[in-house]
Structure 1
Amino acid sequence: MRELSLHIMDIIENSINADATLIELYIEEDTSKNIFIIKIKDNGRGIDEEMLKNITDPFVTSRTTRRVGLGLSLFESTCLRCNGNLKVYSKVNVGTEVVATMEHDNIDRPPLGKIEETVVSVLLNPKIDLVYEHIYNGKKFILDSREIKKILGSDEINSPEVLLWIKDFIKENLNEISGGAF
């Protein structure tokens, strides 16, 4: 995939399909340590140990509509090309965590892309709460949909006005923590 945000969206779609109601997205960029970390954690159904052993095999999938699942294998390939790795941790009836690491300055590392659009796409689903934390060289930004719902006094934050505000809020804060790198 051309952007890491597309890999993130693919993993989050897996979480939603596993009946997750809370998804935590953590991104850390540290240019001095040359690391780029993406963690996606959910409270979904989890993955049994047998399937977890071969989870990055493209022919291992829980889908019934097709027998190929390329998302995790493509993401792992991206990480490996960038001198990193992909780890998947899961417990049945507890949830799953996907951890991707790679070199920040690796020429093969795709750009993050439009992460604000990925977040807004997730928030279109009123059943999902999302915590998005982004750290750039020690500076932190956190967006928690539960806090937004509390401020608005409603569980419905998927109106166009609110989603547009969230999108702009993310872009503004990412530019602030990165010194305009986004």
Structure 2
Amino acid sequence: MKELSMHILDIAMNSVKANASLIEIEIMDSIKDDVLKIIINDNGNGMSKEILNQVTNPFYTTRKTRKVGLGLPMLKEACERCNGNLTIDSTIGKGTKVECCFERSNIDRAPLGNIGDTIMTIINSLVDCELIYKHKVDMLTFSVSTTEIKEILENVDINESSVLLWIKEYINENIKNLYNY
């Protein structure tokens, strides 16, 4: 995948399929320490030890429509190519945590991509699920949650197109401000 945001989208969609009621996405970008870390945590169905041991194998998938699963194997390879790593912790009935680290300045590190589009797409696919997004750049932090947005909206549907577009712009503007501070 050409952008890390596409990996985030892929993992979040796995969380939705795993019946998560809460998905937390955190990006920690340390210019000072030269580390980019992405953490996606959910409270979905979780995975057994057997599945957990296979998820980074590109020739393993739980899907019935194809015989390969490329999302996590490609992310693992992208992390390792950038002197980083991928760890996955999961417990059946409790959820899954995916954490990936990259050497920030590595020439092979894909760009983060359009996080606003990614979060907007995730929110639009949520049913009975909340999302918390946090983005840290060294000492500065921006966060947003669907619970807070829904409280502000009162009776307006969060999936209304004008609301989703506003969320996208709000996220992108605040991320830009983190880097321009």
Please, what TM-score do these two structures have when normalized by structure 2? 0.96
1:21 Cα deviation after fit: 2.0
5 Å-filtered alignment, 1:27-106, equals 27-106=27-106
Please, what TM-score do these two structures have when normalized by structure 1? 0.95
Q: Percent sequence identity over matched residues?
A: 43
Moved over 3 A (4+): none
CA distance in 2, matches of 1:21, 1:80: 31
Give the counterpart letter for 2:90 in structure 1: S
Q: Unaligned 5+ residue runs, structure 1?
A: none
Cα-to-partner distance string for 1:57-115 (whole Å, 9 max, x where unaligned): 01221112112101000000000000000000000011001000010100000000011
CA distance in 2, matches of 1:166, 1:56: 32
CA distance in 2, matches of 1:10, 1:145: 19
CA distance in 2, matches of 1:126, 1:42: 13
Of 61-70 and 140-149, deviating more is 61-70
Give the counterpart letter for 2:149 in structure 1: I
| Paired residue total | 180
Give the counterpart letter for 1:136 in structure 2: V
Give the secondary structure class of the aligned counterpart of 1:116. Answer: helix
CA distance in 2, matches of 1:136, 1:66: 38
Cα-to-partner distance string for 1:10-61 (whole Å, 9 max, x where unaligned): 1111111111121100000001100000000111110001111122001221
* Cα RMSD after superposing both structures: 1.2
Contact 1:7 1:75 in 2 (8 A): yes
Q: Show the counterpart of 2:11.
A: 11
Cα-to-partner distance string for 1:138-164 (whole Å, 9 max, x where unaligned): 100001011000111248301011111
Give the counterpart letter for 2:102 in structure 1: M
CA distance in 2, matches of 1:37, 1:155: 34
Instruction: Pick closer, same or farther for the CA change 1:51–1:107 going to 2, 3 Å.
Output: same
5 Å-filtered alignment, 1:101-180, equals 101-127=101-127, 128-154=129-155, 156-179=157-180
Contact 2:16 2:126 in 1 (8 A): no
Contact 1:29 1:137 in 2 (8 A): yes
1:6 Cα deviation after fit: 0.6
CA distance in 2, matches of 1:126, 1:133: 18
Q: Unaligned 5+ residue runs, structure 2?
A: none
